[in-house]
Amino acid sequence: MNDHFNFRRLFVSGLIATLVAGPALAISKGRAIKLVESLIGEISLMLNSVKTETELTSTFERIVVKYADMNVISRSTLGPRARSASESELRTFKKAFQRYFARKYSKQFLNFSGSQIILKDTQDRGKFFEVGASIIVDGSSNIDVNFRVSDRSGEPRFFDIILEGISLLASERVEIGALLDNSQGDIGLLSKNIEELG
């Protein structure tokens, strides 16, 4: 009798858990995949339509602002210095960083123009989803690109791209960290300096 009762309680609590947690998680995972699908779609469209380098950069910046959490990415590249930065410093830097980022990485996409990107499996990594994709170069050698997506900003956005195991966020933290040292920790000066880079 006792066993039967426990079983029923287990079943009911399981059902509640499924109703509460299950769909919520499923929606996030689905939304993470959808975000990357639509991001890849826009990048393909960009590669097929833009003609000049300026056009490429501005289109890519618009895409990045739409799909990436640039608040958290730009803040993270400043490292511990971000904690003592003012709101306006962070805002100015974010704008400069976005343009620098777009100039630097839009060029890299040109190498893949004409190649196909396919989605692979998506992993639940606890605090974020890692959406796997592969750039098909010529059959024998594919390039793995993973998008780390979180909705902790309020909506699903990617906050890191892992290209063949290399974290773009980690690279930019090293790069911006070194540039910040060169600017003696002055975020205003750093924002001005990165306008000429990328």
Residues 38-77 that bind other proteins (CB under 8 A): 72-73, 75-76
Helix (H) or strand (E) holding 20: helix 2-49
- Nearer residue to other proteins within complex by CB, 4 or 127: 127
Q: Select from 166, 8, 171 the least CA-distant residue to 76.
A: 171
> Residue 153: what are its φ and ψ, rounded to 5°?
-90, -5
Count residues contacting other proteins (CB under 8 A)? Answer: 26
Question: CB 91 → other proteins: shortest distance, Å?
Answer: 17
Alpha-carbon distance 171 to 162, whole Å?
A: 10
As a whole number of angstroms, the distance between CA 59 and CA 180 comes to 27
What is the distance between the alpha carbons of residues 55 and 79, in angstroms, rounded to a whole number?
31
Written as one letter, the residue type at 1 is M
Q: Among residue numbers 159 through 178, which ones bind other proteins (CB under 8 A)?
A: 159-160, 164-167, 169-171, 173-175, 177-178
Pick the closer one to other proteins by CB: 99 or 173: 173
Least spacing, CB of residue 169 vs other proteins, in Å: 5
Interface residues for other proteins in 88-147 (CB under 8 A)? 127-128, 140
Least Cβ distance, residue 56 to other proteins (angstroms): 17
Helical H segments across 53-86, by residue range: 53-67, 70-77
Nearer to other proteins, 10 or 197 (CB): 197
Neighbours of 95 (CB within 10 A): 14
- If the CB atoms of residues 89 and 160 are measured against other proteins, the closer one turns out to be 160
Write down the residue that tokens 């858990």 correspond to: 17
For other proteins, the binding residues (CB under 8 A) are 72-73, 75-76, 82, 127-128, 140, 150, 152, 159-160, 164-167, 169-171, 173-175, 177-179, 182
